Amino acid sequence: MALSKAIARSWQERFIISLSKNPNVTQACKTAKVGRALAYNERGRNAEFARRWDEALDEGVETLEAEAHRRAMRQSDTLMIFLLKAHRPEKYRDRWDGDLRLRGSVGIHPMDLSQLSDEDLELLEEIVGKIGITGSGLHADEIAAHAGGDPDGESQALALPAGMDTAEGAAE
């Protein structure tokens, strides 16, 4: 029993040391000569190992950040921009102060209504009415019939014809 605990500790130690140098679980598993499933199972059952894993991962990421900083300062404006965005997003993040407006109608893609209950279909009818879809007075039975199914829920799909997308679209 003592030998199996020592073996377990030795792979765990190799794993943690590797992860602290390179924050890549697959690489740490290769270094420790264990599979990813074993490492993740151990993490799930052993709180101390999970804590050490998180610490090692943080240390590994900090090592990567330090190297990125070194390279950015010496040779890469692009890398420097990424670091500035990461550390001061309020100042350096990408922003867009434009105004986005939708013009024209939005098509409604067919959707499967076969799983909807009668209550759901009635609610859909109510919603359709509230958002201003116009046409032949779409009731639950008509929605089903229009979709090629029947009101009992057999292969129903909702697809509105062109010009019935919105009240505004129907008027055009």
pTM (2 d.p.)? 0.48
The predicted-structure confidence for 6-35, as pLDDT tens digits, reads as follows: 655 799 999 999 999 999 999 999 999 999
Q: Is 82's pLDDT higher than 50?
A: yes
Q: Which amino acid is at 133?
A: I
Q: How far apart are CA 118 and CA 152, in angstroms?
A: 8
Q: Which amino acid is at 38?
A: L
The 8-class DSSP code of residue 158 comes to: E
Every domain of the chain and the residues it spans: 2-92, 111-171
Strands 111-112 and 157-158: antiparallel
**133 vs 58: which has the higher pLDDT:** 58
3 state SS of 108: coil
Mean pLDDT of 152-169: 46
The predicted-structure confidence for 86-115, as pLDDT tens digits, reads as follows: 888 888 888 777 777 766 666 666 667 778
Side-chain half-sphere exposure of 33, counting CA atoms within 13 A = 5
The predicted-structure confidence for 124-146, as pLDDT tens digits, reads as follows: 888 877 877 655 444 555 555 54
